């Protein structure tokens, strides 16, 4: 025992030493990991700082380069501006030298004539435009005389040359079917409400129907039995008056049938009389004779009473079962109707929604078709009106006698006059950059009117000189 204890002690000590060694190793490992993490963090901080310093140095270098580029750009712009100014000055100096030398005759003789020619050309062009404008007013006033028959009289003022088409009346929307079952909580109540009402009414009416049926059955059976007992009472009143004491007690039709099956004999009659006497009934012995005729009369009446009681119990039970079956059938029918009715109402609501959606789609399709027809009619009208406007503009130019284009301002002059004006204008505009050769200068002629312009416009232009 001591050896085992010493072995256990040594094992525990070994385990403790091993655990302490593992703990020291874990602590050393954690310390090494913490040192490595600290060194790694320091290296990352150093790298981040060096990276920021490098980026900042690059930014500073970039700013310096941009500044130098801007300085160079300013220097280039200043040099270009100075060079341009020097070239402009040199151009004027060269022109002044040319003007006072070789180009003296051009500048002091030919140039004034050319400018006078261009001035007269411009004046006649302005006068020509005024003449054309006045003639255009006259042509506009004469529009009813030269317009086409299908053009509107106010077409030049409104821009509408033909009568617009009559607008088709928008279609009348079809009446939407009534939505008898609304949406939301009200619709849900209308779907579920009838079923709840039916089940409540069924729960109320079923007991009432059962009670009424039982009462009716009981009343019917009681009246039949009572009439039978009345006839028996007339035949054998002593027995009927004491039947409860004579006949053994029974509770249903089956027990009554058992008594009938047992039969009736003189011994049975004696047992009934003894039973009645034990209950304290006072019987008249003369009413219950023991002879065969008396026994037969007693047994016959006893059998009729038991059969009447049996029939009453049976009919009452059948009536109750019948009305119970009717109640169950009514309750089942109410349950079936209550289950089917929500689906039927939901189906009707979906059907009405579908019909409303179909009518809405038909109304929308009719409106869309009407819009398309109106848009098509509008496009066709615009096309025909634009065609009529172009025809009117063409006829307006025919009546006016000249084409209204970019050459209208110089249309009064013949070709040689227009060419001369263009040549002289080009010479004067380029005299600084490219001085003309005096020997190649064209002779400044006279202004000539285009013989192809209408006589009315030509006479009006001549009268303005």
Q: Is 413 exposed, middle or buried (0-12, 13-18, 19+ CB in 10 A)?
A: buried
Question: Rounded CA gap, 328 and 195, in Å?
Answer: 17
92 is written with which tokens?
Answer: 């004027």
Question: Rounded CA gap, 310 and 255, in Å?
Answer: 8
Read off the DSSP letter of residue 165.
P
Question: Rounded CA gap, 152 and 435, in Å?
Answer: 59
Instruction: Give the Å distances, CA to CA, from 375 to 163, 171, 369.
Output: 16, 15, 10
- Across the chain, mean pLDDT equals 76
96 is written with which tokens?
Answer: 């002044």
Cβ atoms 299, 268 nearer than 8 A: yes
Read off the DSSP letter of residue 289.
-
pLDDT tens readout for residues 128-157: 999 999 999 988 998 899 988 889 888 888
356 is written with which tokens?
Answer: 């409303």
User: How far is Cα of residue 193 from the mean position of the Cα atoms in its chain?
Assistant: 31
**Of 233, 191, 391, 215, nearest to 319 (Cα)?**
215
pLDDT tens readout for residues 93-135: 766 777 776 678 888 888 899 899 999 999 999 989 999 999 9
Question: Rounded CA gap, 413 and 117, in Å?
Answer: 13
222 is written with which tokens?
Answer: 């009681």
pLDDT tens readout for residues 306-364: 888 777 766 766 666 666 677 677 777 777 777 777 777 777 777 877 887 888 888 88
87 is written with which tokens?
Answer: 């070239």
Q: Answer with the residue of higher pLDDT: 273 or 24.
A: 273
Over range 409-438, report the average pLDDT.
88
Q: Where do the domains of the chain lie? A: 13-90, 184-367
Cβ atoms 193, 338 nearer than 8 A: no
Instruction: Give the Å distances, CA to CA, from 241 to 264, 282, 406.
Output: 19, 11, 142
Cβ atoms 229, 308 nearer than 8 A: yes
Question: Rounded CA gap, 126 and 262, in Å?
Answer: 150
Q: Answer with the residue of higher pLDDT: 452 or 322.
A: 452
**Of 233, 238, 290, nearest to 267 (Cα)?**
290
Which of 40-54, 230-244, 434-448: highest mean pLDDT?
434-448
Q: What proportion of the chain, given as a percentage, has pLDDT over 90?
A: 8
Question: Rounded CA gap, 421 and 158, in Å?
Answer: 40
- Angle (deg, nearest 10), helices 111-141 and 292-400: 130
The H-assigned helical ranges of 101-183 are 104-105, 111-141, 143-146, 155-158
Bin 453: left if φ > 0, else alpha if -120 < ψ < 50, else beta. beta
Over range 368-374, report the average pLDDT.
89
Q: Answer with the residue of higher pLDDT: 456 or 320.
A: 456
Residue 190's CB is within 10 A of a number of other CB atoms, namely 15
């Amino acid at each position: 025992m001591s050896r085992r204890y010493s072995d256990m002690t040594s094992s525990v000590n070994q385990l403790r030493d091993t655990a302490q060694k593992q703990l020291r190793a874990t602590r050393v490992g954690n310390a090494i990991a913490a040192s490595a993490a600290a060194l790694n963090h320091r290296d990352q901080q150093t790298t981040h700082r060096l990276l920021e310093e490098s980026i900042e140095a690059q930014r500073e270098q970039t700013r310096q380069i941009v500044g130098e580029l801007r300085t160079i750009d300013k220097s280039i712009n200043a040099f270009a501006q100075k060079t341009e100014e020097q070239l402009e000055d040199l151009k004027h100096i060269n022109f002044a030298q040319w003007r006072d030398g070789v180009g003296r005759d051009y500048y002091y003789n030919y140039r004034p004539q050319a400018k006078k020619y261009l001035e007269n050309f411009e004046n006649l062009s302005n006068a020509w435009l005024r003449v054309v404008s006045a003639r255009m007013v006259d042509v506009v006033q004469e529009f009813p005389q030269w317009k086409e028959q299908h053009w509107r009289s106010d077409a030049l003022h409104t821009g509408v040359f033909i009568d617009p088409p009559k607008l088709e009346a928008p279609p009348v929307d079809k009446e939407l079917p009534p939505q008898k079952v609304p949406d939301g909580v009200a619709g849900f109540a209308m779907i579920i409400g009838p079923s709840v009402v039916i089940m409540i009414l069924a729960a109320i009416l079923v007991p009432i129907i059962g009670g009424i049926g039982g009462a009716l059955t009981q009343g019917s059976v009681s009246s039949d039995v009572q009439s039978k007992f009345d006839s028996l009472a007339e035949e054998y009143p002593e027995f009927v008056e004491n039947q409860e004491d004579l006949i053994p007690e029974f509770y249903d039709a089956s027990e009554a049938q058992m008594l009938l099956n047992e039969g009736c004999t003189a011994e049975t009659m004696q047992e009934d009389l003894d039973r009645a006497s034990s209950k304290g009934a006072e019987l008249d012995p003369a009413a219950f004779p023991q002879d065969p005729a008396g026994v037969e009369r007693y047994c016959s009446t006893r059998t009729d009473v038991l059969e009447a009681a049996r029939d009453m119990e049976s009919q009452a039970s059948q009536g109750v079962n019948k009305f119970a079956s009717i109640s169950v059938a009514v309750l089942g029918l109410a349950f079936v109707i209550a289950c089917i009715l929500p689906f039927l109402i939901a189906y009707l609501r979906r059907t009405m929604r579908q019909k409303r959606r179909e009518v809405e789609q038909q109304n929308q399709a009719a409106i869309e078709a009407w819009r398309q027809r109106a848009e098509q009619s509008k496009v066709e009208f615009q096309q025909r009106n634009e065609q009529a406007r172009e025809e009117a503009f063409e006829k307006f130019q025919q009546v006016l006698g000249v084409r209204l284009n970019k050459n209208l301002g110089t249309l009064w002059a013949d070709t040689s006059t227009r060419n001369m004006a263009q040549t002289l204008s080009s010479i004067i505009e380029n005299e600084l950059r490219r001085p003309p050769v005096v020997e190649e200068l064209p002779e400044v002629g006279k202004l000539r009117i285009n013989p192809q312009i209408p006589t009315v416009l030509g006479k009006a232009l001549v009268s303005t000189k």
